[in-house]
Amino acid sequence: MRDKSKLMSEPGEMILEVRFVGESLALHGIPIYELGTALVSIQRMVNKAHLAREHRWKHGSFPARGEREMLALQIGARRRGSDWFGLVPLFADPTAHAAIKRAVDYVMSGLTSYALGTVLDKARSESDETRRLVIGAIHAETVNIVNRIGNVGGCERIEISFPDPSVPQVVTFDENSRDYVRTLEKSPYLGATQTIEGDVFRLDPSRDIVEIWTPQGRRCKVFLKRSDFDLVRYGQTHGTRIEVTGKPRLRFGAEKQTFNEFEGTAVVLLDEEARDLQ
């Protein structure tokens, strides 16, 4: 069993820097509640990004105890005068350090899209499905962070930076980006590629939409390109089953990541014989 006391990180091993900026913060520190909320949100982001990289994240999931320990961050340094905090891994384990850095890379990529106001475009165009998943997964934590701006304590701006000398990154949130993040609630973004199936019960030729009932009893609108819609429309009789590959339309801020809209990229018609073999 390892001696944890010998693995404690040294303050110089900075993994993230967080700065709360405001004129009044030159006179006093950031209130405990504001600081705690922001730091806990950052830790949750790291945990979610790690699970997403491991293809194990879904709404409500969290790392096992050993993983939470491996990913844990602590305050390694602080500077007063617009409060600055340096975050370091809890343990100076090379494996833990590497895992945190990989997760932080995904977190910073997602936070950048929030700060620049490009979340919806990024969530649709990002080719890396894990990065796209992380963008949606960290929405609630991003809201918790930006809500510190203009709240108790006089924080006017928050800077989060990844001080890696090879790829330094700085994300800045102000009142404008705070308001942008807040407006995203319930906005759609695309989830990871998957395959669904269901029985067709309605066709909308004007919008190339096929509505299905899934085996789980859920109603879902499937958006198709014209050729795939025509395949469903003319290739089988009303009420038969189809299999669709594509991406679900999820919602920022939704408590459960279920969906009732799906953007299909490929369709397979399931005949009666194929259904009987399932």
Identity (one letter) of the amino acid at 205?
A: P
Tell me the range of 112-126, 210-224, 249-263 where mean pLDDT is highest. Answer: 210-224
Q: How confident is the model at residue 201 (pLDDT cuts 50, 70, 90)?
A: very high
In this structure, how many other beta carbons lie within 10 angstroms of the beta carbon of residue 245?
A: 14
Measured between alpha carbons, how far is 49 from 109 in angstroms, rounded to an integer?
11
Helix, strand, coil % over all residues of the chain, rounded to 5? 40, 30, 35
Average pLDDT taken over every residue of the chain: 88
Label residues 154-187 b or e (16+ Cβ within 10 Å = b).
bbebbbbbbeeeeeeeebbbbeebbebbeebeee
**Span 149-177, pLDDT tens digits:** 999 999 999 999 998 777 778 999 999 99
**Taking the complete model, does pTM exceed 0.85, yes or no?**
no
Q: What is the structure's pLDDT at 3?
A: 55
Of 26 and 44, the one with more pLDDT: 44
- Other C-beta atoms closer than 10 Å to the C-beta of 88 total 22
